[in-house]
Amino acid sequence: MANRKPKEFEKIAMKFEDFEGILSFPDVFGRKNAVHIEVGSGKGTFLVNEAAASPAVDFLGIEWARKYYLFAVDRMGRKGLTNVRMIRTDAAMFIEKNIATDSVDCFHIYFPDPWPKRSHHKRRFVCAQNIVQILRCLKKHGHINIATDHKDYFQWMQKEFAAFDDELKQVDFIKPVGAKENECAGTNFERKYIKEKRNIFTIAFRKK
């Protein structure tokens, strides 16, 4: 796609400025089905594979980087996927302000920015404040699926989630359909990190 401009398919690309208040998934997808949200979708590799394999599930990807957002929308549109949408916005703010309580079946968080400098840790997406909002949005028995290549961030995640033992049960990581035998999540970032011989860490939870 380097030699052509990506096409912004209107049925897939959601404009944050086009709506206010709580998002209605039945209105967005035209049906009432299970809903999965991916935080930080990158180029959309997970969403493209998962949406194609699970037509009875609706997927929403949130991505801040414009070039990745456009790339993902283009891929999804050209594949004719109807059960996936993308929005370019700040994920933490969007989840808190625009996602309804008890409306999401699963959150996918693959290789979020680790913000390794101590002074930047407050920017990490996986933190107590955001876990509170994820829990609010999750349906009963809903899942959280996470993968990272950053050991310090993984240990941070474990500590942050430990405060929610009364509400979450740690479970086995659910391997996405697009992940190959030697992969956990099957994203572009993971494939890059595997080539660099980095270790991959996973953690998953189910809402009680």
113 in active site = yes
Each as own residue / partner, the long-range contacts of residues 186-189 (CB below 8 Å, 24 or more positions apart, any chain) are 186/45, 186/46, 186/49, 187/42, 187/45, 187/46, 187/110, 187/111, 187/147, 188/42, 188/43, 188/45, 189/42, 189/110, 189/111, 189/149
Q: Which of 18, 113, 165, 172 is catalytic?
A: 113
Structure tokens given for 156: 């941070």
d(CA 184, CA 33): 26
Closest CA to 63 of 75, 54, 55, 53: 75
Residues recognised as catalytic: 113
